[in-house]
Structure 1
Amino acid sequence: MTPSTPQRIAIVTRRFWPISGPTEHFIADLGDHFSGAGNHVRLFTSAWQKGWPTECSFREFDLRRLSRPSSGPWGTYRYQRALIRELDLFQPDAVLLFGSGEDLPPVRKLVGDSVPCVVRIDHRAVVRTNRTIQKNLRLNLADAVICDSLRTRNELVMRKTALPQRVELVSDGVTCRAEPERSLLQQANSRTALGDAHPILRIDPAQPLVVTGAPLNGDGGVCDLVRAWKIVLESFPKAKLWILGDGPRSRKVWDTISDHDMIYTAIMPGYFDDLDEIFQAADLYVHPMRGAVNCRCLLEAIANGVCPLVTDNSTESIAKRDPDGRRIGEMIEVQRDSTGIIAPPGNPVALGEAITMALRNSDKRLELGANAATQFRPAIDMARIGSVFLESLLGVRQPENASGASFS
């Protein structure tokens, strides 16, 4: 239960605005939710560039920037000393840390056992986590470890990085505004606004627009989409593909676009702080991943009523607890011809044919998008996700056998 009196909540992350990406957007929304619940929220992060203000307000919460952890051989030491000093001044009632728990040991030493410390970790952080026993076990200092996906949770448990009894699963949430109402007039107005914002986003009302914001990391699904786009252009030569975001595979994706001579029909405009206008302008959202990969952009598309076309038919959301007190993944499945369109993963030909079919049937797209929004919005709403985080922070439920738990 969330206490009735306002609490002082510290959020610690080494990357934040103006660095932009899905995690940074999620942190900002989470901070807004905590503040909206009447709590005093302060976010502690790094000043990656000279001239960034050290103190400011961001949306509904305070922001403090510290020295860069990578600035010289003593960078991490100076950063953590500054972090501890600022936290000591703030006197938090709860601490939420993003990353792989690298700042957890000094924070726990400062606040002791009386202040809940919760770590939010995603799969990228798991991959980066040092495999030494000393650094693996630091997550056991947390009262709870909240994973973004079932894949992340399973890998943490398999690698014995965290005690299974303390690992919970809560996916990213998105801000769900009013129920989406999609119309040709709204779509045309959004396209006009985007074109006015930048010429590269200019698109005529009659041109089909397909959008993806799938992670540009180790999964090759976005390259599959680019190859599939060649098939789409055979039926819709004026169609546009917008690939949002950035990542390690961005260059590979762009090279694939260039190799297929599609630089004028497939563009990579980068990150956007607000995607509502883009989704109002879009005809279809494609999640082309080869594996089960969570994607905040997919959730935002669904929340905005855009028809989803997915190549993996599930994403984890928050769920009930199992008998040991952990939250476990509840699968939200996109149902074929009910809440979306499903294509086989790793098959550009089948993906291209599925996109072509979807673009030919506007009424079906609108129906599927509306169904997906109605069914999934309650589970992915930031109001619900934020409440779950608040419960973990301000009312951590320890499993009954946590004190004597060990890995099996």
Structure 2
Amino acid sequence: MPRTLIVTNDFPPRRGGIESFVRALADRLGDVVVYTASMPGDAETDAALGYPVIRDRSGTLLPTKRVRDAVVATFTEHGCDRVLIGSSVPLGLLAPALRAAGATRIVAVTHGHEVWWSRLPGTRQALRRVGDAVDVLTDISDWTRAQIGRALSAQGRAKQTRLAPGVDTEAFRPGAGGAEVRAQLGFEPTTPVVVCGARLVKRKGQDMLVEAWPAVLAAVPDARLVIVGDGPHRATLEDLVVRRGVADAVTFAGSVPWDRMPGWMDAANVFAMPSRSRLLGLEPEGLGIVFLEAAACEKPVIVGRSGGAPEATLDGQSGYVVDPSDPGEIAARVVELLQDPERAAAMGERGRAWVHAGWQWDQVGATARRLLGL
């Protein structure tokens, strides 16, 4: 029987979009073994899984000789015959050794960070080597495909194939716990609420929502902004909220476990994350799974024009794409949706139908199985 080795730095209990992506694939690929890094709380996580997880002694896997030998030994000892690399660089550089050990099919997954790998000398060559060594190099959006493809050989570009993340539409749905979250926050059922759920880093654009909020309040005085997540930008955001005089209208919810996120999405009237590209375009938004999760809860979404993020909504139908550097445009779209609940509801319904039709995890899992030849 075929057995797949998943090699990844990105796996629970560490939290993030890539971690959720790799875990969802592992759950849907049948007979798998995971080789990943050590991290706090991993024993409890691994005990609850239905497949073996081998933890390297390191907290970050790099394609060193020691890691290469350990990965190849795991591949052989567990009788694997194919490989999924959870993030193509740098661990895709292990592909030749795994091929020599008997791997018949190697799929390397790309996300968004490969864009800067594709643009810098040295890292660009490493990405090219990965593209030449694997059987399939996946992409999450048309935009990331084009950017990454510039670093690849013609042979590597021919291997690019779409494998975007999905959404659990049974978990992310209307009525997933929003009323309870509103009650927890002390909001009325009719309070206009905008939710932004993401790591608190500059790229995600929470600061531009705060900059837009005085204009939102001028039009919708009882509007509330809820910022879900944590990260290094939190203190800066908290200071900005005070300086803009909107502290009473902005709530910092902190980090929320993934299984509770549907309730926070469901609590919103509008989901907004005006993400932006940083560092001269080296740090873009590759796609933005949170936009799809919010849409699955029937919420209209406001998306920053960054990288592949505009592909995570139907502009003008299930949400709006905005200039992430323009607080005025952000405020105008927020106000439009809060003041026209019928239009917002129609956009939310359109978004859920779109996600249900083409962005579900079982569909993604079927694609991954096909790419691995399962």
Both structures adopt the same fold (TM-score exceeding 0.5): yes
> Which residue is equivalent to 1:388?
367
Write the deviation string for residues 107-138 of structure 1: whole angstroms up to 9, x where unpaired: 53234365211110112144257732752333
The 3 A distance-change label for structure 1 pair 245 and 100 is farther
In the alignment, which of 27, 39, 47 is matched to residue 48 of structure 1? 39
CA shift for structure 1 position 92: 1.5
- Cα distance between partner residues in 2 of 1:386 and 1:24: 15
> Which residue is equivalent to 1:257?
241
In the alignment, which of 21, 25, 28 is matched to residue 30 of structure 1? 25
- Cα distance between partner residues in 1 of 2:347 and 2:312: 15
5+ residue gaps, structure 2: 278-283
In the alignment, which of 373, 377, 385 is matched to residue 356 of structure 2? 377
- Count of matched residue pairs: 360
CA shift for structure 1 position 209: 1.8
In the alignment, which of 139, 143, 158 is matched to residue 135 of structure 2? 143
Is the deviation greater in 245-254 or in 206-215?
245-254
In the alignment, which of 113, 125, 131 is matched to residue 121 of structure 2? 131
1:284 aligns with 2:273: no
CA shift for structure 1 position 383: 1.2
Write the deviation string for residues 41-68 of structure 1: whole angstroms up to 9, x where unpaired: 222210134x743993444433221111
- Cα distance between partner residues in 1 of 2:373 and 2:309: 24
Amino acid in the other structure paired with 2:269: D
> Which residue is equivalent to 2:78?
90
Specify the SS of the correspondent of 2:299.
Answer: coil
- Cα distance between partner residues in 1 of 2:264 and 2:37: 30
5 Å matches for 1:323-362?
Answer: 334-336=314-316, 338-362=317-341
The 3 A distance-change label for structure 1 pair 56 and 19 is closer
The 3 A distance-change label for structure 1 pair 75 and 144 is closer
> Which residue is equivalent to 1:323?
none
Amino acid in the other structure paired with 2:195: V
1:9 aligns with 2:11: no
1:301 aligns with 2:294: yes
The 3 A distance-change label for structure 1 pair 114 and 17 is closer
Specify the SS of the correspondent of 1:11.
Answer: strand
5+ residue gaps, structure 1: 1-5, 196-200, 318-330, 396-408
> Which residue is equivalent to 1:320?
none
TM-score, normalization by structure 2: 0.82
Q: Is the 8 A contact 1:67 1:79 kept in 2?
A: no
Is the deviation greater in 208-217 or in 164-173?
208-217
> Which residue is equivalent to 1:210?
194
1:81 aligns with 2:69: yes
- Cα distance between partner residues in 2 of 1:179 and 1:46: 29
Q: Is the 8 A contact 2:197 2:290 kept in 1?
A: yes
Q: Is the 8 A contact 1:8 1:93 kept in 2?
A: yes
Q: Is the 8 A contact 1:13 1:98 kept in 2?
A: yes
> Which residue is equivalent to 1:19?
14
In the alignment, which of 67, 78, 90 is matched to residue 57 of structure 2? 67
- Cα distance between partner residues in 1 of 2:346 and 2:90: 46
CA shift for structure 1 position 367: 1.8
- Cα distance between partner residues in 2 of 1:106 and 1:85: 12
Specify the SS of the correspondent of 2:190.
Answer: coil
The 3 A distance-change label for structure 1 pair 144 and 342 is closer
CA RMSD of aligned residues (A): 3.4
TM-score, normalization by structure 1: 0.76
